[in-house]
Amino acid sequence: MSMISRVGVVGLGSMGMGTAMSLVRAGFDTYGFDLNAEACARLAEAGAVASGPSALPYAGQLDALLLLVVNGAQVESVLFGENGVAEAMRPGSLVVVCSTMAATQTKAIHQRLTEMGLEMIDAPISGGAVKAAEGRLSVMASGKPALFEQAKALFDAIAEKLYVIGPDIGQGSTVKTIHQLLAGVHIAAAAEAMAMAAKADIPLELMFDVVTHSAGNSWMFENRVPHILEGDYSPRSSVDIFVKDLGIVLDSAHQMKFPLPLASAAHQMFLAASNEGFGREDDAAVVKIFKGIQLPEEK
């Protein structure tokens, strides 16, 4: 089985750009694709072989295509839409789907790719923009064991932790779904706690210091609360991302007839924030749904 040397990355947002840069540093012939011309230019300056708005002109040259787009609809559009790249890829080429999707959708996409003679790894990621830029992502993956041997150097370049969940497509997506349950609930709980501190006239910097040195801390609390303290809601990950991801969590649970009371409450909080016009702001902006409190303003 041939090794992978020519890799395309679709989606040069905060996670995709870091992933593409990591591939460039590792010596892969890297191609980057995004509708944002500035992002394409930045990757080209970093040493990409080519970049542009569409992967279609280069699809036949690629050994592997990584998809780091926002949702399953965008994955399907990139692969099978009007200018879909799947038909232009060489048989046996590898598609690595890193986007967060329901396992049922992941399986359906795999079936279509298989019928077209293409291979697929279900590989949702976590770690944020900083770890993406450092090549230290966590990858929750499933697929044929032989494909992981073929793609070992690729995952070594982008990931600190590669968790191979099993051979069946959809297993990686299921693990990421459960992870997002925790991530969303932790952000919502962090916002609720800081809003209560504000209501009680506790200095928010003091509250942050207490929690981050005590048992109530979480990675999300430590990472997101500084956005609240700085009054900076520039989107690293948006409110609407968690409207989507917790929606996937709840849909998956409904199929299992499994109750998720905390995830349901967190989802309602993110929906409320989106409804109030904060959908494109950083997910820490879920704190803005609480009324009667004074939050820090951007400095």
Strand 119-122 and strand 125-126: the pairing is unpaired
Length of the chain: 299
CA gap 299, 287 in Å, rounded: 18
DSSP SS3 for 80: helix
Burial environment of residue 201 by CB neighbours within 10 A (0 to 12, 13 to 18, 19 or more): exposed
Q: Of 297, 284, 299, 291, which is closest to residue 226 (Cα–Cα)?
A: 284
The answer to whether residues 9 and 68 touch, using CB atoms and an 8 Å cutoff, is yes
Whether 257 is catalytic is: no
Of the listed 107, 131, 161, 176, which one is catalytic? 176
Catalytic residues: 176
